[in-house]
Amino acid sequence: MRWNGWGDPAQAAPLPDGVRDLLRDLLGVRPADTPPAALADLGVPAPRLGADVLDALARAAGGAEHVRTDAASRVRHTRGKSTPDLLRIRAGEVADAPDAVVLPGGHDEVLAVLRACAERRVAVVPFGGGTSVTGGLAPYADGSGFSGVVALDLRRLDRLTALDEVARTADLDAGLRAPEAERLLGERGFTLGHFPQSFEWATIGGFAATRGSGQASAGYGRFDEMVVGLTVATPAGPMRLGRAPRSAAGPDLRQLVLGSEGAFGVITSVTVRVRPLPQVRAYEGWRFGSFEQGAAALRALAQDGPLPTVLRLSDETETMVGLARPEDIGAAGGARSGGCLVVTGYEGAAGEAADRRAGARVALRAAGGELLGEEPGAAWAEGRYRAPYLRDALLDAGAFAETLETAGFWPALPRLYEAVRGALTETLTAAGTPPLVMCHISHVYETGASLYFTVVGARGDDPLGAWERAKRAASDAILECGGTITHHHGVGTDHRPWYAREIGPLGVAALRAVKSTLDPAGILNPGVLLPRADE
């Protein structure tokens, strides 16, 4: 992956001149004064770990070749891929680079590394695809008595170890990247059906650790709903969870690990539910007059069916700009029809998918929708992984672009939507960088839905400070309006204070008790998920 941006460097592309003109005229965006730092010029501090510690890590990981202390490897494991992460690393801020990158080859080696680190007070940051956008790879290790920090890279845990075609389950190593998982399952006629925007780079373990949700969640479900078993390495020992699809044998400890973001243990493998490869994949677009009308249509499908595999609604601004179809940006492609764009997708057996499509068309027309045909849906499907590359191009052009998301029950969504948009707009406008705020719904449930906001504006003199204030205002608005601080991005360090408010002091105390049992030395991702003592 590109060290100071997203994804494959070969896929990066500059913004068209028309988009640059739009940014300049609409938002006052100007090119950055200084170019980003070069990798070779970064002043990476010397590793703090002594030879004895590095030798112990090498023994645990199966050889010295699996412990890396070179500057390039350490930089590539510094922080994640949020816009603040990228702005800092482009500015050459790498003082918090891990002291070493350790690449164990299996569950037992992960256990050995954790034991070695616990004995020597070395903080451990589990690292999958490096796609965190909430500070999940930025632990709080300074001033905490740690002798150093290692990034625990799981890329060598990359196998499909079992496929049960009767139960329709698969055992997948945690370091397996999503495209390879789909390839291996596809060779046997199955799919996981989990296609988040991070799909091309994220890993199976990362999906589980953050409770990820893919763009086809209406049909396949969230990732945590797919998981039926987990193998976890902790400093206190191993855990193997999941003996049956469901159980009444006490609280489900699988749910304790899912979403724990490496703070309780390192997920080394998962057993997941898989589905047969779909015979057909078909997408189409619909137009609704307003976001409110479109949301009502999505609620009708979520509650009464039939439910498409993919179901997403862009608000008026996102539709106008064309963000749902990146190739339309700057060409006002979405503005041809105005209103709000809904994309529906249908995957599965040919007859069953056709029946759902016909039934959904009836429901969408009854809700006031206008069918736009297959082209808008197909265009979305073709471009659905391009948005992070677009974000990088915006940063390269001198703009600021970032996202945040939440979820709430249906009655709370209108107020939640307006409050978050208002908080972002007012705070950034007060900072002298009035933004363009867009939103879409891409995950629906019988009881509610998610809201995913995209913010674009001029970078200004203090982009990190301005965004911190805007994000804080938006996060306060989320909790005040009954939303959750995160639907699928995770808590990390960015959302940690609001997560503590969301679950309350007793909830925080319960999680601290779990951590003290599984991670007595507190080495796992310190400061991620759980509030610090001074918060």
pLDDT in tens, 27-82: 999 988 788 999 999 999 999 999 999 999 999 999 999 999 999 999 999 999 99
66 backbone dihedrals φ, ψ, rounded to 5°: -100, 15
- The domains found in the chain, sorted by start residue, are 11-38+385-489 (3.30.300.330), 39-153 (3.30.43.10), 160-276 (3.30.465.10), 280-382 (3.30.70.3450)
CA distance 80 to 201: 12
438 backbone dihedrals φ, ψ, rounded to 5°: -120, 160
Residue environment code for 186-222, b if the CB has 16+ CB neighbours within 10 A, otherwise e: eeeebbbbbbbbbbbbbbbbbbbbbbbbbbbbbbbbb
Question: What is the DSSP-derived secondary structure letter of residue 336?
Answer: G
Q: What's the confidence (pLDDT) of residue 334?
A: 41
CA distance 182 to 207: 14
- What angle separates helix 83-90 from helix 463-480, to the nearest 10 degrees? 170
| Local structure of 132: helix, strand or coil | coil
Give the rounded distance of the alpha carbon of 53 from its chain centre. Answer: 33
Joined tokens for residue 92: 């050459």
Pure H helices in 47-106: 51-61, 71-75, 83-90
CA distance 531 to 529: 7
Q: Kindly write down the DSSP assignment for every residue of 374-418, as one continuous string.
A: HHHHHHHHHHTT-HHHHHHHHHHTTEEEEEEEEEEEGGGHHHHHH
Cα distance between the two ends of the chain = 34
Other C-beta atoms lying within 10 Å of the C-beta of residue 237 = 12
CA distance 435 to 426: 9
DSSP strand pairing (148-153 vs 122-127): parallel
Cβ contacts of 167-170, under 8 Å, gap ≥ 24 = 168/273, 168/274, 168/275, 169/228, 169/229, 169/271, 169/272, 169/273, 169/274, 170/271, 170/272, 170/274
What are 338-393's pLDDT values in tens digits? 899 999 999 999 999 999 999 999 999 999 999 999 999 999 999 999 999 999 99
CA distance 195 to 129: 14
Given a cut of 70, the residues of the chain with pLDDT beneath it are 141-143, 323-337, 533-535
CB 89 within 8 A of CB 131: no
Joined tokens for residue 403: 């996202």
pTM of the model: 0.96
Q: Which residue from 11, 10, 21 is spatially nearest to 387, judged by alpha carbons?
A: 11
CA distance 517 to 313: 43
HEC secondary structure over 295-318: HHHHHHHHHHCCCCCEEEEECHHH
CA distance 110 to 61: 7
Q: Which residue from 278, 149, 152 is spatially nearest to 203, judged by alpha carbons?
A: 152
Q: What's the confidence (pLDDT) of residue 535?
A: 64
Apex 489 CA angle, 483 and 491, nearest 5: 75
C-alpha Rg value of the chain to the nearest Å: 23
